[in-house]
Amino acid sequence: MLRVHLDGFRLNPATYSKAVAWRLRGFKVRSRNSIAPLLGSSPHAYALWILRNEAAAPVGARSSAVAGPAIVPVIDCRAGEGGLDRSIASLTAAGARGPIVIIGAKPRAGTIAINHARQLAQLDQGEGAWLCPMMPGDTLAPASLDSYAAIAAMARVPLIYADDDLVTAEGRSDPHFKPRWNADLHEHHDFLTGASVVLATRRTLESLPDDGWAGALVGHALGEGMEPLHVPQVLHHRVIRPAPKVPAKPADAIVGPLPLVSVIIPTRNKLALLRCCVDGLKRCAYPRIEAIVIDNGSDEPATIEYLRALEEDGFAVLRMPGAFNYSKLNNAAVEAANGDLLCFLNNDVEMVENDWLDLLVRQALRPEIGAVGARLLYPDRTIQHAGVFTGIGGGAGHGHRFQREDEAGYFERARLPQQVSAVTAACLVVARDKFLAVGGFDEQQFPVAFNDVDLCLKLTARGWPSLYEPRAMLIHHESKSRGSDAAKTNRVRFAGELAALKRKWHTDTRVDPYHHPHLSRFSERFLVAV
């Protein structure tokens, strides 16, 4: 623990000292919010996590009579046998209740040796066989197979996966605390193969290829259409694991007729920001755009003249003076919009590439997806938005915020398309019928902050999860037109909206399904909770 605190102090002495001072003055929450990210950034944080979470309370207690199917470990040694004995030694404590299968190696005591993956078909005794693919050197946590067996007996799904870490001569490191099933993320990062147990029939096993059989096994299970079940525990200690693959932009055209997109931009004065946003919109490669600017009481002559010019140029301008209520302004614009898709866009967003809307539209057209959000950068090219995760600070936070653009993030998640709990309405595309089906933005409880989070959670509750599309990238001069929520005059209003979010969605108590209970709720950087 002392090492972790020393690391935190070295990382940022001023913030650490301020956090300690707050703690001594009794401001515990404020102190924890500041110090937790520093402690989680320590290279010794995971060792401390292991000490607290596993040394005192192992992953599970071995049961002498485990209810559920026997799970067969299968160790593929065709690339080498290094670490095989270590793998086998871990399996007794893990709960192995039958033979261990090794492929391409001489048999050890209590093992069955085979030459090809297709020979695994002999394990099926009529109801399928539960397999746990491993590589030599991989080990399993104590009672992990017992845990899998008990879950398999109750869940009735063909694939169950868990968290993992890497193991070397120096010890364990680099834990992967995974989200619940996320099909879009898995398309670019195989976090299942080698860290899961799979139920397979004889027919499936007989069709496995010799190379890549474990991935094919996972693919067959996913093809059954049932959502895999996640066990949020580190059950696998691995010598190597598949790396994420950052996808290129799609080269094909959108299939079918292009829908009209209504782009809605609220504004008040700040002509330079609005002009930059509109100029970027005019350069947009997507051909079917209806542009709607909502003027929330501009009184600067230059802005008023510019809005008149926009009307002459074919833009619709809705004039809605009065107190700023983001939800009310946008709901009114939706009533006047004609597009099948809606794009909510802040006036302080700057376009750096012309294909951003095309990329978002592709995803928003998917019938199973709700809101779609872009990757937003601050002007200094650090990340402002890479998906919204609830529970951060008790409310919601932007994943990977302030991380450099060229940093990978947590297992490349800053650069991978994936489902998330919410996306920011600074640049958000959603189908009009889905938006209306959930009642649009909440004008009463969320006039300024968290209206996008609330909208996305309502969509998810209807079966339309949000999606983060990082290949669509823009610059966001955050809140330059309306001011920051941290400003003194806005604090009371923001506190009320935060309280409403907690009351409605329990963001202070529920764990975001795309985050993890062992990741810090006091950091947007996916750090180990210590």
pLDDT, residue 484, reads 53
- Residue 420 — φ and ψ, nearest 5°? -140, 170
Rounded Cα distance, 460 and 438, in Å? 10
pLDDT, residue 61, reads 44
List the domains of the chain with CATH numbers.
2-43 (no CATH), 71-238 (3.90.550.10), 261-505 (3.90.550.60)
Collect contacts of 105-111 with beta carbons under 8 A, ≥24 apart. 105/75, 105/77, 105/81, 108/84
pLDDT, residue 63, reads 47
Rounded Cα distance, 364 and 379, in Å? 27
Rounded Cα distance, 76 and 164, in Å? 18
Beta strands in 432-484 (DSSP E): 466-476
pLDDT, residue 431, reads 98
Rounded Cα distance, 382 and 400, in Å? 9
* Residues 480, 273 contacting (CB under 8 angstroms): yes
Rounded Cα distance, 370 and 152, in Å? 31
Which residues does 499 contact at the CB level (< 8 Å), separation at least 6?
none
pLDDT, residue 424, reads 98
CA 519 to chain centre: 12
**Nearest one of 152, 157, 236 to 193, comparing CA atoms:** 236
Rounded Cα distance, 420 and 408, in Å? 18
Which tens digit of pLDDT belongs to each residue from 434-465? Answer: 999 999 999 999 999 999 999 999 999 999 99
Rounded Cα distance, 475 and 156, in Å? 46
Rounded Cα distance, 340 and 31, in Å? 47
pLDDT, residue 159, reads 98
Rounded Cα distance, 84 and 74, in Å? 11
Three-state secondary-structure class, residue 155: helix
Token digits of residue 498? 């935060």
Which residues does 496 contact at the CB level (< 8 Å), separation at least 6?
none
10 Å Cβ neighbour count for 62? Answer: 14
Tell me the Ramachandran region of residue 376: left when phi exceeds 0, alpha when psi lies from -120 to 50, beta otherwise: beta
Q: Give the H/E segment covering residue 194.
A: none
**Nearest one of 239, 177, 234 to 57, comparing CA atoms:** 234
pLDDT, residue 30, reads 75
Rounded Cα distance, 148 and 164, in Å? 14
**pTM for the model:** 0.93
Rounded to 5°, angle at Cα 421 from 418 and 422: 95
Token digits of residue 35? 């110090």
* Residues 417, 441 contacting (CB under 8 angstroms): no
CA 486 to chain centre: 26
Rounded Cα distance, 451 and 388, in Å? 12
Residues 138, 139, 141, 143: what is their CA dihedral angle, to the nearest 10 degrees? 120
CA 420 to chain centre: 5
Token digits of residue 423? 């996306």
Which residues does 371 contact at the CB level (< 8 Å), separation at least 6?
364, 422, 423, 428, 429, 430, 452, 455, 456, 459, 464, 466, 467
Dihedral of alpha carbons 227, 233, 236, 242, sign: positive
Three-state secondary-structure class, residue 144: helix
> pLDDT below 70 — which residues of the chain?
55-66, 479-489
Rounded Cα distance, 525 and 11, in Å? 15
Rounded Cα distance, 296 and 304, in Å? 11
* Residues 417, 471 contacting (CB under 8 angstroms): yes
3-state secondary structure 371-394: CEEEEEECCCCEEEECCEEECHHH
CA 23 to chain centre: 32
Query: Alpha helices of 61-130 — where are they, by DSSP H?
Result: 84-94
Q: Give the H/E segment covering residue 26.
A: none
CA 443 to chain centre: 27
Rounded Cα distance, 241 and 506, in Å? 35
* Residues 184, 418 contacting (CB under 8 angstroms): yes
Q: Which neighbouring-strand residues pair with 262? A: 290, 342
* DSSP assignment of 287-343: S-EEEEEEES----HHHHHHHHHHHHTT-EEEE--SS--HHHHHHHHHHH---SEEE
Dihedral of alpha carbons 413, 417, 423, 428, sign: positive
Query: Alpha helices of 121-233 — where are they, by DSSP H?
Result: 144-155, 183-188, 202-206, 213-222
